[in-house]
Structure 1
Amino acid sequence: MPPDRSSFTPLNFDNDALLPEYMDSFTLAAPPNSDLWRKPPSRDTSTAPILYTALRNPFIAAEVTVSADWELEWDQGGLVIFAGAPPGSVATAIAPQLAPPPTVDITLNDTTNISPESLTPIGQRPPPPYMPPAPASKWVKVGLEFCNGACHATSVVATSDGADWALTSLPPHHARRSDLRVKIERIGYALWIWYEDHVSGWKKLREVTWFFWSVEDKAVRVGVYASRPANFGTSMYERRNGTNGALGGGMRNLCVDFEGLEIF
């Protein structure tokens, strides 16, 4: 049974009202120059349309079939899982304002006890407390990516320091297909990443052994994404009229179809 539409949160949508009516079959449109990526030190690029949900129970697995008319280098779509808030979904914390320094009225005959701190020049007072930035969330994405003229199974693993990128060639009997079913699965503290070969069944792409270490169940977010990192500017028509959002799709958008989404 597909997940409930009302439980999903859109990220990088032009219009939040344009959510899929039915989560078993829907399309996301990714405009040019949209991506989900991280470069050290924790510099996120989070412009890809994403639909994600929080879970009531501990995460077990998720899977979906993705397909599209892949044509530009790095066109991609698939599943994504976050251990923490998705990049770009939380506003930066604001440091608390400090109270003004105390003032004391002094007269020659005043016998009021004066603390040494109140007589300390402002320039010699200690600086305000340091507010460390919130740690960057861990995340993993897996899906189908068009690279060097062919579709590949793709995965990216992002830590607080950066991200890696891995492409896996598909079997010859699958190489000409434009669809792929992918799965992520929790086994202990590890996240296992799979894709389905319609001849030999599920094949393991990689294992992220540490993904769920020190992660609370309530901090896990799971969803889907579409991305077209290639950037070739916008036409005069698009600048004047805009696009139709993540579910509509302008002429230059990548429209990724998602079928059979399951999240456990």
Structure 2
Amino acid sequence: MSTIQESFVLEAAPGTDIWRKPPTTNVWNAPISRTTSGPLKKFQSARVTFWSDWTERYDQAGLLLVPKRASSADVSPPEKWIKTGVEFYLGKPHLSTVGCDRFADWSVGPLALTANESDPTEVGGVTIEIIREGDEHGKSLWVYRLVLDAEGHLIEKIPLREICWVLANEDEVGEEWLLDVSPLVARPEKKATESLKVNFKSFEVQWLS
């Protein structure tokens, strides 16, 4: 079963972010919409294609995943989450993934175009995917950047990060875990004078039937 949304714009006001850093920082005020939800055990993948005119430090967009216990589904800010996509850092867009189990950690790398790749603005933006995978060592979620041509065909699949703690929760005895999946937009810079607008070409989530 899949949920597909196409061609929409999301906007985030200055001072919005999702971030948790010791000892006391716990920010959860990014605008969240177009969420699709289901049992964590049935989640297969999520994919988003997007782009923006990034200008402010930490401007960001992409995917947001929030695993939560069914018994505490309305807790805000949530205890655990993942966000991944593009973040504007050191004056240019970077690939970015943040995982938060207790506190957040951040991996970031340059958004370098491959030799056969079109400019992101020509193909609707950058495509990020989070997918369930498994091997002889166990199961996890993998974050990839998908390089697509102008017709949407896959050219290259670039691994960005493996996240193992999320799927450990789905085996918790006597407790059902749910997963919210949303497109992400945030503009942490409080001094910015305008909102960040992000063009989303597509947002797709796959669940087991």
Q: What is the match of residue 132 of structure 1?
A: none
Q: What is the match of residue 61 of structure 2?
A: 77
The answer on whether the counterparts of 1:55 and 1:220 sit within 8 Å (CA) in structure 2 is yes
| Counterpart-to-counterpart distance in 2, 1:204 and 1:256 | 24
CA distances 1:76-115 after superposition (whole Å, capped 9, x unpaired): 1000111117xx95369xxxxxxxxxxxxxxxxxxxxxxx
CA distances 1:121-144 after superposition (whole Å, capped 9, x unpaired): xxxxxxxxxxxxxxx522111111
The answer on whether the counterparts of 1:138 and 1:158 sit within 8 Å (CA) in structure 2 is yes
Q: What is the match of residue 178 of structure 2?
A: 219
CA distances 1:53-80 after superposition (whole Å, capped 9, x unpaired): 2126700000010111111111110001
Instruction: Give 1:55-204 correspondences, 5 Å limit.
Output: 55=38, 58-84=42-68, 90=75, 137-160=79-102, 162-173=103-114, 177=120, 179-188=125-134, 189-198=139-148, 200-204=155-159
Q: What is the match of residue 206 of structure 1?
A: 161
Count of paired positions? 184
> More strand per residue: 1 or 2?
2
Q: Unpaired runs of 5+ in structure 1?
A: 5-22, 93-135, 235-251
SS at match of 2:14: coil
Cα offset, 1:261, TM superposition? 1.1
Cα offset, 1:159, TM superposition? 0.9
Which amino acid is the alignment partner of residue 188 of structure 2?
P
Name the TM-score, length of structure 1 as normaliser.
0.62
Q: What is the match of residue 27 of structure 1?
A: 9
SS at match of 1:214: helix
For the aligned residue pairs, the C-alpha RMSD in angstroms reads 2.9
Q: Percent identical across equivalent pairs?
A: 31
The answer on whether the counterparts of 1:141 and 1:157 sit within 8 Å (CA) in structure 2 is yes
Higher mean alpha-carbon deviation, 51-60 vs 184-193, is at 51-60
| Counterpart-to-counterpart distance in 1, 2:87 and 2:168 | 28
SS at match of 1:34: coil
The answer on whether the counterparts of 1:83 and 1:215 sit within 8 Å (CA) in structure 2 is no
Q: What is the match of residue 13 of structure 1?
A: none
The higher radius of gyration belongs to 1
| Counterpart-to-counterpart distance in 2, 1:218 and 1:148 | 37
Return the match for 1:49 from 15, 25, 31: 31
Q: Unpaired runs of 5+ in structure 2?
A: 150-154
Q: What is the match of residue 152 of structure 2?
A: none
| Counterpart-to-counterpart distance in 2, 1:55 and 1:165 | 26
The answer on whether the counterparts of 1:150 and 1:175 sit within 8 Å (CA) in structure 2 is no
The answer on whether the counterparts of 1:35 and 1:45 sit within 8 Å (CA) in structure 2 is yes
| Counterpart-to-counterpart distance in 1, 2:66 and 2:132 | 13
Q: What is the match of residue 200 of structure 2?
A: 258
